[in-house]
Amino acid sequence: MKAKEIMVRQVYKVKENDPVSDVIEKFIKYRISGLPVVNERNEVVAYISDGDIMRYIGKHDDHVFGSYMYTAVVKGDDEEFDERVRSLLPMCVMRIAQKKVIAVDAEEDIEQIAAILGKKRIKKLPVVHRGVLVGIISRGDVIRHSFQTLL
């Protein structure tokens, strides 16, 4: 079975210049937790997930670096939680999105897709054809298509 046979063709996505508020709105409206980020040619340039949002709005601890000659403190957060949440909304999505995106070709075998999702511990894979986004495959898609005839 190939990626093109099990992928979801209706892919919610955001453009690389969109604000994070667009991401949050789609997360809430469509009950999803991640989105491919595309350029004007519909090529995947990044991926943003709920984890990226959590890393930004979560508490950042102070870090102390020291040696015999000096000690430096890198301050974690100057902003309160509510301020971090508000300041994230107008921010460009590319500022916090993951730029190293693992994607699969539409002709990729389901066995390889399962291996990638498992080994990389990721939830979804964008599916591309000639570099252009054509679908998305989740862990659930692989499980449904792998076991539906056996149960």
More confident residue, 80 or 94: 94
Report the alpha-carbon angle 46-121-124, nearest 5. 50
The identity of residue 110, as a single letter, is I
pLDDT digits (tens, 9 = 90+) for 13-70: 999 999 999 999 999 999 999 999 999 999 999 999 999 998 888 765 544 556 666 6
Exposure letters 18-52 (e unless 16+ CB within 10 A, then b): bbbeebeebbeeeebebbbbbeeeebbbbbbbeeb
Helices (H) and strands (E) in the chain, counts: 6, 8
pLDDT digits (tens, 9 = 90+) for 87-135: 999 999 999 999 999 999 999 999 999 999 999 999 999 999 999 999 9
What percent of the chain is modeled with pLDDT above 70? 86
DSSP bridge partners of 52: none
Helix (H, G, I), strand (E, B) or coil at 10: coil
Per-residue confidence (pLDDT) for residue 65, from 0 to 100: 56
DSSP tag of 98: B
Residue 73 pLDDT greater than 50, yes or no:
no
What is the pTM (predicted TM-score) of this model?
0.82
